[in-house]
């Protein structure tokens, strides 16, 4: 897992400058992806997270008829899923956590 997280940090360019610029918002999103919907979050931050393919924003409806089996959960903190936004994978969230600690 550590090797994959290290590769994600490099591939997603989670540099010192990126963390310095967006650290406050990154910490909030790591704790709860639904915070991306808060009005005080700058659009530039959201766009940056989407462009780096770290999150899925404005998620599709979870109506049962959209899904073959069961729809994804509306909220799952252990997986980093919020109602309207989610991490691409839990590893993406771990990469941001590790970048924040550096």
pLDDT at residue number 58: 72
Contact assessment for residue 3 and residue 86, using Cβ atoms and an 8 Å cutoff: no
Q: What is the pTM of this model?
A: 0.80
Average pLDDT over residues 29-37: 87
Query: What is 46-60 written as a DSSP string?
Result: HHHHHHTT-EEESPP
**Alpha helices, H only, 1-89:** 2-11, 16-31, 43-51
- Distance between alpha carbon 100 and the CA centroid of its chain, in Å? 13
Q: Which residue has the higher pLDDT, 56 or 38?
A: 56
């Amino acid at each position: 897992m550590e090797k994959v997280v290290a590769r994600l940090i490099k591939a997603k360019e989670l540099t010192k400058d990126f963390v310095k610029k967006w650290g406050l918002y990154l910490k909030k999103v790591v704790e709860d992806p639904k915070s991306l919907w808060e009005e005080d979050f700058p659009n530039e931050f959201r766009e940056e997270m989407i462009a780096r393919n770290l999150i899925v924003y404005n998620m599709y409806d979870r109506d049962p008829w959209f899904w073959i089996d069961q729809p994804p959960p509306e909220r799952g903190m252990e997986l980093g899923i919020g109602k309207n936004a989610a991490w691409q994978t839990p590893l993406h969230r771990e990469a941001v956590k590790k970048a924040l600690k550096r």
